[in-house]
Each structure stands twice: as structure tokens, then as C-alpha cells.
Amino acid sequence: MIRRSLVFFLPLIAGACGDSGFDSSSPFGPSQGGGGSPLVRTNAPVLVDPASHHAWVRRDGSLYAVSATSAGDVALAYPLDGLSDIRLAFLPGDLALLVADDPLGCPFATTACTRVAQLHTDTVASDAPEWEGSTLEFATQSPLGGFVALSGGFATSGVYVVGEGGDLRPMQWEALPGGVGWSRCLPDTGCDERLWMVGKHGIRSWPAVGGTLADEPDIAVDADCKDRGPYGYLEMDPLVAASPDGRWVALTCDRTFSLFDAVTGMLTDTPFHGPISFTPTGTIVGHDREDDESYWSYEDACLQFINPVNLVDNLACLPTSESFGYYVTEDDYVVASNDDGIFVMAIEGLSGYGAHVSALTLQDGKFVERRGHHEIWFAQGQSLFRLDYHSGVLAPMALPFLVDDMNIFPSQDQLAIVTSSSVFFLSLVTGSAQQVALP
């Protein structure tokens, strides 16, 4: 292991301190496109644990834990040979769950199994894995972090919940792909968080109290939900979205979503297309989709902003005719991206296009939000770019290496940047970087 100290000149952030940089929508990197699952970054080359113990790096069929401290140790955390669709979820108490498909090592007579192993993020030790006898399709973590719901299967999709003990628990056998999600509970409602399921024949919800998930759902609504889009392909977008405070839950069924109001306990059908996501202040945001004859609106690439109280919507169309993905920031800005570049708009008043950066795109996933600073950092080639999305100002920074991927630490205000042979820990306060060589 080789550790080196480098200094990069960062005049654009000199003297900056403030809150730690962390995308709270996910400890695994930003959720893109639809604000979906916290485990959306499958097969991401670098992840960081919330306790800031390590950067977790996939390299040559292995998962390595690279210490974020001055020691810079590198430890083999788990062998990944033969595994696919690899996910990592961090739980409370220095624990993590490794979730992956294992097509060859499965103890059952099936074509593939989902392996679930528990890792200890402080000691980088792993427990013996368990198997669920079907192929993983979707995974999402609960808001308080103690549960991960897995769905997958063959003729039908099973839902399994994994808690801090690492045990697989079957919950329901008809969830659609992407049809599993979570919400917080409002205070004094008798629960802490909720598991939601959108299935072919209905919508179900299980409350969790004190870290224990109920055996039976306490909300059940009959519905006829389709599992395919208008062109016959599987709809893999997240079908469950919730406002941060837990009052509103949007459940997409047959391409339109119903809205659950936790105050009234009512589920209301809407004419709006899903899937969608929520902003930090509770506004609903999503693509403007046409009828079944035309899945995307290409002539006017637009976003819808919907008030959940009265379901009044506003349309904001981007100066492009192509389909796009988007990311919602911590303070209600939308950063949208397609092959034309990046567009920025403020949700309040729908003012925007403060930046149109034609040379960059969000689509390769190499971006993170530096929370508390209204900044998004992008990596492209041998360059970093800092976008101040309030002002629309873009500042570049040249690097002496090619960036494979990056993430941001929750408490240290530094980037973990992966190259072909090393991990660089780059301080966004001082501009200095520490290099750790990978095996």
C-alpha cells in the first residue's frame, strides 16, 4: 500500500467550511432520473459509509474497504467473483448488507439466487451469506436505515425484508418490479416508517414500530396494476415515492399514480403519469408523459411540478426536444440533463435555466451534491467541475489522472475519487488530496 500527499489548488472553495457534504437521498451516491431507490447505483465503483470509516471500492472481482483515516489501509472486504447486480446498503450500528445475484453458487435448483451477506464496516469482517431463491430485480432501504426490501422472481416477484440481523423475511409475493418502497410516519400515528408494495392486484402497506415490521399490512387497497409499459417492456422505474416528512406517498399503478395522505388516511387517484419523486419541501416532480401511444413527449421535453394538496400542476419545458434525466437538490432546485448538456431551474416560481452547460451531462453518474453549499460536483475525463446551481456559475479544475468514479463523504467534506489504480481523498475545504494505491 502506498499513500501520498498531494495538493491541488482550489481557489473556488478557499476558506469554505459549513455543513458536511452529503447527499442524504442516498449514502451510495445521488439518485438520478426519478429520485428512486437509495440503492439505485448498482455496480457503482465507489461507495462511502455514513460513519466515514471507509471508501468501498469494487476492483477486479473484489470489494475493498479503503480507510478514510490518515492510515489509509486497504482491506479485502468480500470476494465478488461470479456475482452480478451488486448492491451495498449501510445499516445503523456499523453494519452493511451486501446484496448480489449469484448464478452459480446458489444452493437451490434455480438459474440464479440473491445472496445477502452482512458486513461490519468498522472491522471489515463479513458474516456467512444467506440466499433467497430468485433473481434480484429491485432493492430499496427504509428512511431510518434499518431495513432493506428486495424484490425479484420468475413468474411473480417476491418481496423480502432484511433487517439488522441479516435474516431474509418473506412479506408478499406479487410486487411489481420497482413496486416496493418506504415512507416515514407522521408523529403520533403509531409507527416510525412504512413499507409499501404495489402489486398486480392491489396496494399494501406494513407499519414498522421500534425497529420491528408488522406481520400483516394495515393498509390494503384493491387495484389492477400492470407490470409493463405501453411498448411491452418491463417498467423498472421506482413505483413508490414519498415526501420527506412522510405525509404524502405516491404509488404508481398502470402509469398514473395515486396519492396517499397520511393525515386523512385517504388514497386519491390522480390523472398524472408516474413514476415521480418529491422535492425536500414536498412538491411532486416528474416527467410530463403523454398517452399510451407515445410514451415520452419528445416535442416538448417538460417537467411537471404538482402541489400535493390541491393537485394543481405547473409545466416547465426545457429548451431541448430530447428525453432527459433530472436530479432534485436539497434546496428545491432541479438539475436536468440529456445529450444537450445540463439545465438548471429553481422549483419556486419555476424560474430557471440559470446554467446550460453543453459540455457536461449527469447521465454517466459521476456527480455528487455538496450539501450546505448549493454545489454539484461533476467528473469528466481528467477534470472536476463545480456547479453553483444558485448562480449558474461553473468552475473547472484539472486533475493529473482520469476519474473512474467519485463519491462524497458525509462528515469530512471530501471527495473519494477512484482512478484505475488508486483512491484519492480530496478535501473540499483545503484542496489537499491523499492518494491510496489499490491492490
Model pLDDT, residue 291: 43
The answer, yes or no, to whether residue 182 has pLDDT greater than 70, is yes
Residue 164's CB: how many other CB atoms inside 10 A? 16
Q: 105 versus 233: which is more confidently predicted?
A: 105
The confidence band for 37, taking pLDDT boundaries of 50, 70 and 90, is very low
For 217-245, what is the mean pLDDT? Answer: 74
Q: What separation, in Å, do the N-terminal and C-terminal C-alpha atoms of the chain show?
A: 8
Which pLDDT value is given to residue 261?
A: 96
Give the start-end residues of each E strand in 293-392: 302-306, 313-317, 325-328, 333-338, 341-346, 352-357, 367-370, 375-380, 383-388
CA dihedral of residues 389, 390, 391, 396 (deg, nearest 10)? -30
- The string of pLDDT tens digits covering residues 89-137 is 888 888 888 888 888 877 766 666 788 889 999 999 999 888 877 777 7
pLDDT > 70 fraction of the chain, expressed in percent and rounded: 75
Give residue 35's pLDDT: 30
Residue 276: which pLDDT band, with cuts at 50, 70 and 90?
A: confident
More confident residue, 289 or 317: 317
pLDDT for res 408? 85
Contact 429, 17 (CB under 8 A): yes
Give the model's pLDDT for residue 151.
Answer: 77
pLDDT of residue 209: 94
The length of the chain is: 439
Q: What's the pLDDT at 3?
A: 36
- Residue 351: pLDDT over 70: no
